[in-house]
Amino acid sequence: MTTVSSESVLRVQQALAAHGITSPVVRLPASARTAAEAAAALGCALAQIAKSLLFGAGVAAEPILVIASGANRVDELRLSQLLLLPVARVDAAFVRRHTGFAIGGVAPLGHPQPLRTFIDADLLRMAPIWAAAGTPYHVVALTAAELVRATGGAVAELAQR
């Protein structure tokens, strides 16, 4: 593991501990950059993967974190309606700048600054939930209650139907 990866995982572990979450970070034998890869590596349902996606909202491109079920596509129109602002997809540099993580390893917490966060309501029906933990090789199991508490995220119906 590289030094950067170690620092990323350590940052996630510290954030988990700060929120009283004792689940260990698990290193997978193969990369899990996508929700499908993570589900296959863990032997769990795709819906149990909590994928962290970043959007830019409004003219100022405020970073908005959406934690969605791996089985769902985010309804960007619905997200825009919740924010009362247009949203746009962002590039890898924007993701790294605002989360401190590379795409494929974005954790739901441990960011340089708090991010306005929305959580896909479908995740509340899953147990456990698996989220990236700083690299494409590291994941952590959480409960829905832990995810909501640790991120301060607003639960919303965000899946395209």
Q: What is the pLDDT of residues 61-85, one digit of tens each?
A: 999 999 999 999 999 999 999 999 9
| Average pLDDT over all residues of the chain | 95
Q: Which CATH class is domain 3-156?
A: alpha beta
Res. 1 pLDDT band, cuts 50 70 90:
very low
Domains of the chain: which residue ranges?
A: 3-156
Q: Report residue 88 as tokens.
A: 């746009």
The residues with which 36 forms a beta bridge, in sequence order, are: none
125-145 burial string, b = 16+ CB within 10 Å, else e? Answer: ebebbbbbbbbbbbbbbbbbe
Question: 114: closest CA among 56, 65, 46?
Answer: 65
